[in-house]
Amino acid sequence: MSLPTVLAPYAAAFLAFALACACAVGLAGRLAVRLLPSPRAPSTWPRAALILAPAILAAVGCAALASPDPFVGCHCATHGLHHPHLCTSQPSLALSLVKPALCLLGVWLFVAAPRLLGLGRSVITSMRWTNRARSLSSLQIRGVAVRLADCGSRSAFTIGALSPFIVVDRGLWRSLSDEARVAVAYHEQGHVRRRDGLTLLALRLCIALFPMPRGARLLAEWRAAAEGACDRYAAERLGDAAAVAATLVAVERLRARSALEDASIPADALGIAAGGDLERRVLALLDGGDRRVEPSLGNDLLTSALAALGAVALTVAWPGDLVHHTIETLIGSLIS
């Protein structure tokens, strides 16, 4: 049997699991977000995990299908052929699923192609912008490397998924006080240390692959929580939360006075600009209770990946024959 023939049913099962989970997460998104801590606290991982949940749970489901009982062996050869079977040791038993699987994958590709193409264009534009900015010379401020550029906006941001670095608009840099410059540098250093650019790319890809209701809102919630974590990191490094809050206000004031547009800044840039969240972020910094919350500098994508690997390992190690057989029976009833 050819490799595509063997993999098509599993790819279709993965997609079906992911789309079903995306719908469930999206429909429950409003409740889930309300149950999560406020974005003023640095609780970013749960929000990232919600967006990555379709891919994670689909991987767990496929692990249960591929290896239902690794310590006993495949049950499909002796279980009867009243429905299709999905076991890696008996790929010929899944031949009846190949055509339906290819149809499902084709329809999904047709529907998802515009979103994937849009994301691809955005990534290419960002890579070009990043390559140009990377060639700029950098200066050091309190041990943080900063590149100055004419960005077309009074902004400071972190760019680059794999090798992130900090870019600050020259006009903004000249207009800030020395203390505000340090606050900006520390805030952006928080994004670099958290690898937020890589996480953002993964979250955007997951939403493009498995569209969910309220996906954009969940992504905005994650970005707000990530900015809050970096605000608190800057306050911790600077030793003055009020100074960071004042810097947020100063940056927004300069942005409001400028007639320049933000169109030249890549979509995956993460920066100190607060926009409509200015009041919330300032109050979060000045709130004495939230000062006791440590900034989260862990990478949300890595944490989610480790959780997924643990779930897959548990699914394989813990015999999942019942789950395996239930899924097979359901698939059989759908195509019969």
Q: What is the pLDDT of residues 284-313, one digit of tens each?
A: 888 754 455 566 788 899 988 888 888 877
- pLDDT band per the 50, 70, 90 thresholds, residue 168: very high
Per DSSP, what are the bridge partners of residue 166? 158
Q: What is the pLDDT of residue 46?
A: 83
Tokens 């890549």 locate to 266
- Residue 267, pLDDT above cutoff 80: no
Kindly state the average pLDDT of the residues 178-202: 94
Q: What is the pLDDT of residue 202?
A: 94
pLDDT, greater one: 314 or 201: 201
Q: How many CB atoms lie within 10 A of CB 333?
A: 9
Mean pLDDT over the full length of the chain = 80
Q: How many CB atoms lie within 10 A of CB 263?
A: 7
Q: What is the pLDDT of residue 137?
A: 87
- Residue 91, pLDDT above cutoff 90: no
Q: What is the pLDDT of residue 56?
A: 87
- pLDDT band per the 50, 70, 90 thresholds, residue 82: low
pLDDT, greater one: 109 or 12: 109
Q: What is the pLDDT of residue 285?
A: 87
Q: Using only the alpha carbons of the chain, give its radius of gyration.
A: 24
- pLDDT band per the 50, 70, 90 thresholds, residue 324: low
Least Cα distance to 200 among 153, 269, 130, 111 occurs for: 269
CB 219 within 8 A of CB 204: yes
Tokens 């098509």 locate to 8
d(C-alpha 86, C-alpha 61), whole Å: 12
- pLDDT band per the 50, 70, 90 thresholds, residue 81: low
Q: What is the pLDDT of residue 13?
A: 73
- Residue 40, pLDDT above cutoff 60: no
Residue 68's alpha-carbon distances to 54, 90, 91, 96, in angstroms, are 21, 12, 14, 20
Mode of pairing for the β-strands spanning 270-271 and 156-159: antiparallel
CB 15 within 8 A of CB 57: no
Q: What is the pLDDT of residue 39?
A: 47
pTM over 0.85? The answer is no
- pLDDT band per the 50, 70, 90 thresholds, residue 323: low
| Domain extents in the chain | 3-335
d(C-alpha 282, C-alpha 19), whole Å: 38
Least Cα distance to 58 among 15, 3, 105, 24 occurs for: 15
- Residue 8, pLDDT above cutoff 60: yes
